[in-house]
Structure 1
Amino acid sequence: MLFSDDKVPSPRRPEVPVLSEASMPPISEALTVIITTSPTPSAPSTELLDTILASFHQHCPLLLECNVIVVLDTYDRIAPVNRLKKGSITAEGAQNFAAYKDNVKRLILNEFAGIGSPEGEVLLLEEDGRAEYGSPCIATNFTALKVRATKHRRVIFIEPSERLGFGLAVRSALRLVGTPYVWVQQHDWNLIVSIPIRSIVEVMVESHSSQEAPVKYVCLPSPRMLEYADSSHVKPFPSLRETTAALKRDFSAPSSLDKIPLTPLFFWHDKTHVASTEHYLNRVFPTRLAMARGAFIEDHIGQRARNQMKEGLFKKWACWLYYPDGGKLQCLRHLHGRTWRGKEAEREKVEASKLQGGGPHSLLESNEVSCSINI
């Protein structure tokens, strides 16, 4: 790709749209898509992200009208075996990841900017950035970033010089966002049902100044979150039961007949969610000390948020779970990016397990894999 010395345009300050009877402005003025990806066994193939984007096309095509920021996180060290959560990758994996990053750029430019030209004909503006963390007294507590963007910021790529981890990857992207809301997407959670994203954002906008039930974060349900309001995450705790009874409801989207069912969520999950940009930065990343390099948000912030909500501070976090069909409808499927090698490789693994006469554990694994690859 061609790079220019021109600077990546600075984002405007996100402002919450003012709703009227004429409805919201275009979704692209309200929402930015953030995608995080990192080394995966299926590299250099983009099949994992292909699956995610195919689910956008099928279940939430408005996302493809939004600006997108892709964080291409990296690894820390070469090792004999993959330990991707710890930042370790094999030599072969490192070689594949270099090609993977180029393939991801081509895929995203084609999907979001309609740029299907050969790689050498794409002009991206470039600038340097940094992701600081930890004590400011230690001068080396930062990771250098390369930020590359199309001219009108339709697509932005962030490439760190060392592994950021999900937390700092999201923060780096949030700092470049020019809309009041973000859709945060990890590379291995695909949609399996239609998501009324415009109506969800309208509900968030409408509730912006609510003293009773502000909606600042909406997570989509995975299998373990089904019937959450009646689960062990809520029922044993009187304060959480009371909050749920008082606030769980169907919200009305101002410009449509859609009802958006939401229930209070007493955790901040990393899996696919929509959130207020300002709330994200202020609540999750108030200072450089809030997130260590290599850390996940839910590991560091999730339990803190839950404990504070148990103490009656739900509105401080304003986390909700999308709750269609009374909490019985699953919206996300996990493709397990740390182990997933692509549909064909997963099928071969299932067949090999069958030929070896695997026991109940193997059958359980096979069923799980089949569920993951039959989109």
Structure 2
Amino acid sequence: MISNPRINGLHEIPNVLSAEEADKLSNAIDNQHFREWCPEGFDRRNRVQRYSGKDMTDHFGWVFDKIVSASDQANVALRRPLELVITEHTPSSCRSIVNTFEQRELCPCQQQQQQCQCYVAQLTLVNNGIYSVEKPVGRDLECWDLVEPATTILMEQNGVVIKTGESLWEWRGRISDIKDSNSCGEESSSVKGWKKGQKKLALSNKRSVTLSFRGVLPPEPSSLSKQMESCKLSEESEPQVPLAKLLTIIVTTSPIRSNPSTELLERTFDTFQFAGSEFAYECPKVIVCDGCRVLEDDTGENTDSDEKKDDDPPKITRKYANVKQTLRNGIATVDQAKNYTELKKRLHKLCADSQGTQSTFSNTTVVELEERHGYGFALRHALYNCVETPYVCVIQHDRTFMRPTPIQEVVSAMESREDIKYVGVSMKSNLNYYDIFSSKYSRRACTELKTMIIRPEELNISGNRYGPNGHSIANMVEPPSEKRRKLRDIARQTYMASHQNIIYEEWVESMSSSGANQDGFHQLSLTPTLFWYDNTHIVRTEHYRDFIYNPVFKMVARGGFVEDKLSPIIKRSCERLGLKDGHAKFGCYLLDDHSGDVFTGHLDGGSYNTAGLHVKRNASERS
């Protein structure tokens, strides 16, 4: 046995099993003689077999006896394990960069500062494994300050690594790589990519299997009273604050080829009436006009009013060679920039003329940004400089409401529950979110997500307004063609057969004795999401300002969308802290009334054509 000099309590024992014994054991595991593989890990990238009690003793008792025999030489006492976890590691499963502790909570003996006999003994089969470990200053999954630089440990094939004491409780790590035991000194393909002369198929089969005998006592059950207190609904009835005092609407826009026409924004604003008259006419609104970079003309003369900082015009790669992608990247020609300037003038006039009238553009301010910020930082500018309400509703210039939407009720639910920080309004791509989640993540995560679905009292809405037969569906904007109507009907049928809807129907059946969904009431749901959709959403202003846009965390990139960088961070947070705690920091949910229809649609501003553009295009095609 070899004790690691850098890590107290870490012991390495080579060649615990002979090659013949290891082959026999790995073949039995691979052929699933004892138990079938089950996909686990947060994103289902690991295949796992779990054993305990008599099954563990009968099938793997002889393996543990060999480990005990080898560990006795170093006076490491190992009691009978409580569980055996067999995990298959592949290059795909090693992509995670999240280091975790063996157990998030301390065992009872550690909590009571008693002598601890807990351990984890890991036997490695098939190929060597690389174990990356680090010791943070404090025992916290989100402590980034390290006592010393991270290090790696080679988990030799047929050898055992035993973790006790400090190495078990104060160090965190992960299996970060696989090393072919027959290729000494070669770097792994999962780090350096496919090597010259190696076949992709052969490398894709590269794997390592670890048998983790866990003799770790589970933590004592903690009181949930504090967690429950934060989720309790307010029992005292408070006077309802007008929505206009609670919510500011932020609409983001940027150059598109339909400029200088305001038709796209007018169509978007007209649908605000679906969110209620107070939302449409009384809530303060801010239109944020992002800046753009202007391409020089053929003469090289810069016609933009602002002087360019660089001598060269913005470069356009093949990815942004067409008009739509170029504008999406914030690059406009001289003519497009002029049209955009004209659009902003028209918006100022439209908002000024609407003041004091029954128009959706009343109470609207137009904010112009001199430089290109991108969606994320344009929204950031509005949040810091134009918002005084505790909540914001963020809408992109081409996102429309398709039917009556309970914005007032959503804000009331957020007022009652501090754990709801973001509510996304459903669209086509996330209507069946639970099914999307279950296709990506493990069975345990799906079961846990089901328990995290929220059904607030404020979203138990009367008047037959929502649900499959509600007035909201009856007043929905009809698709313009027969083909789209058929696609909508297919989407409804798909939803009714989805797990998203089945879970809801099971809940309604379980609550039937308490009168759920009776007397014209219909309960809407908030489904947790690990993706921060930039589609229409309501958010706590302080959550955006103090957390999402906190410069320390760097969760939003300048020039990009919020969802692009933030969504992977949410996923890693859940992988590190567990689904409930990792999600609670972001508190993002999706609204669903279980009707099978979306609340919002997409006009696709980048491809949007006004009637004038259609005439011009048809004329050019005829010529």
Fold agreement, TM-score > 0.5: yes
Residue-by-residue CA offset, 1:166-211 (whole Å, 9 max, x unaligned)? 1111111111311110000110111101111110000011002xxx
Name the residue aligned to 1:13. none
Q: Tell me by how many angstroms 1:346 deviates.
A: 5.6
Q: Tell me by how many angstroms 1:255 deviates.
A: 10
Q: Distance in 2 between matches of 1:293 and 1:235?
A: 29
Name the residue aligned to 2:150. none
- From 598, 604, 607, the counterpart of 1:330: 598
Residue-by-residue CA offset, 1:153-178 (whole Å, 9 max, x unaligned)? x4433211110111111111111311
Deviates more, 1:44-53 or 1:246-255: 246-255
- Counterpart residue identity of residue 165, structure 1: G
Deviates more, 1:245-254 or 1:169-178: 245-254
- From 333, 337, 352, the counterpart of 1:90: 333
Name the residue aligned to 1:179. 389
- Counterpart residue identity of residue 568, structure 2: Q
- From 155, 159, 167, the counterpart of 2:376: 167
Residue-by-residue CA offset, 1:209-250 (whole Å, 9 max, x unaligned)? xxxxx1110111111112111225666334541332112142
Name the residue aligned to 2:546. 282
- From 252, 266, 271, the counterpart of 1:50: 266
Name the residue aligned to 1:309. 574
- From 522, 525, 528, the counterpart of 1:261: 525
Q: Tell me by how many angstroms 1:320 deviates.
A: 0.3
Name the residue aligned to 1:297. 562
Contact in 2 for aligned 1:67/1:112 (Cα 8 Å): no
Deviates more, 1:45-54 or 1:295-304: 295-304
Contact in 2 for aligned 1:32/1:179 (Cα 8 Å): yes
Contact in 1 for aligned 2:286/2:382 (Cα 8 Å): yes
Name the residue aligned to 2:537. 273
Q: Tell me by how many angstroms 1:110 deviates.
A: 4.3
**Partner secondary structure for residue 455 of structure 2:** strand
Contact in 1 for aligned 2:456/2:525 (Cα 8 Å): yes
**Partner secondary structure for residue 231 of structure 1:** helix
**Partner secondary structure for residue 267 of structure 2:** helix
Q: Tell me by how many angstroms 1:50 deviates.
A: 0.6
**Partner secondary structure for residue 166 of structure 1:** helix
- From 448, 458, 469, the counterpart of 1:243: 448
- TM-score scaled by structure 2? 0.44
Aligned residue pairs, count: 295
- Counterpart residue identity of residue 237, structure 2: E
**Partner secondary structure for residue 250 of structure 1:** coil
Contact in 2 for aligned 1:340/1:346 (Cα 8 Å): no
Q: Distance in 2 between matches of 1:61 and 1:317?
A: 30
- Counterpart residue identity of residue 337, structure 1: G
**Partner secondary structure for residue 98 of structure 1:** helix
Q: Tell me by how many angstroms 1:19 deviates.
A: 9.2
**Max Rg structure:** 2
Name the residue aligned to 2:292. 75
**Partner secondary structure for residue 279 of structure 1:** helix
Identity of aligned residues (%): 27
**Pair 228,112 (structure 1): closer, same or farther in 2 beyond 3 Å:** farther
Residue-by-residue CA offset, 1:347-367 (whole Å, 9 max, x unaligned)? 9979999x9xxxxxxxxxxxx
Q: Tell me by how many angstroms 1:53 deviates.
A: 0.8
Name the residue aligned to 2:411. 201
- Counterpart residue identity of residue 281, structure 1: R
Contact in 2 for aligned 1:167/1:294 (Cα 8 Å): yes
**Pair 305,68 (structure 1): closer, same or farther in 2 beyond 3 Å:** same
Name the residue aligned to 2:511. none
- Counterpart residue identity of residue 606, structure 2: R
Q: Distance in 2 between matches of 1:66 and 1:20?
A: 26
Q: Tell me by how many angstroms 1:22 deviates.
A: 5.1
Q: Distance in 2 between matches of 1:53 and 1:20?
A: 36
- Counterpart residue identity of residue 332, structure 1: T
Structure 2 regions of 5+ residues with no counterpart?
Answer: 1-233, 298-321, 463-521
**Partner secondary structure for residue 252 of structure 2:** strand
Name the residue aligned to 1:108. 351
**Pair 155,345 (structure 1): closer, same or farther in 2 beyond 3 Å:** closer
Contact in 1 for aligned 2:264/2:398 (Cα 8 Å): yes
Name the residue aligned to 1:227. 432
- Counterpart residue identity of residue 91, structure 1: V
* Higher RCO by CA contacts (8 Å cutoff, separation 6 or greater): 1
Q: Tell me by how many angstroms 1:343 deviates.
A: 5.3
Name the residue aligned to 1:27. 243
**Pair 86,347 (structure 1): closer, same or farther in 2 beyond 3 Å:** same
Q: Distance in 2 between matches of 1:350 and 1:250?
A: 51
- Counterpart residue identity of residue 583, structure 2: F
Q: Distance in 2 between matches of 1:233 and 1:222?
A: 18
Q: Distance in 1 between matches of 2:250 and 2:351?
A: 12
Contact in 2 for aligned 1:27/1:66 (Cα 8 Å): yes
**Pair 231,93 (structure 1): closer, same or farther in 2 beyond 3 Å:** same
Name the residue aligned to 1:359. none
Name the residue aligned to 1:191. 401
Q: Tell me by how many angstroms 1:109 deviates.
A: 3.8
**Partner secondary structure for residue 451 of structure 2:** helix
Q: Distance in 2 between matches of 1:222 and 1:188?
A: 13
**Pair 239,63 (structure 1): closer, same or farther in 2 beyond 3 Å:** farther
Q: Tell me by how many angstroms 1:338 deviates.
A: 1.5
Contact in 1 for aligned 2:275/2:407 (Cα 8 Å): no
**Pair 33,54 (structure 1): closer, same or farther in 2 beyond 3 Å:** same
**Pair 25,339 (structure 1): closer, same or farther in 2 beyond 3 Å:** same
Deviates more, 1:30-39 or 1:87-96: 87-96
Q: Distance in 2 between matches of 1:96 and 1:156?
A: 20
**Partner secondary structure for residue 194 of structure 1:** coil
Contact in 2 for aligned 1:59/1:192 (Cα 8 Å): no
Residue-by-residue CA offset, 1:265-316 (whole Å, 9 max, x unaligned)? 1111111100000111222101175433312111111221133234421111
- TM-score scaled by structure 1? 0.70
Q: Distance in 2 between matches of 1:343 and 1:20?
A: 54
- Counterpart residue identity of residue 166, structure 1: Y
Deviates more, 1:335-344 or 1:29-38: 335-344
Contact in 2 for aligned 1:68/1:112 (Cα 8 Å): no
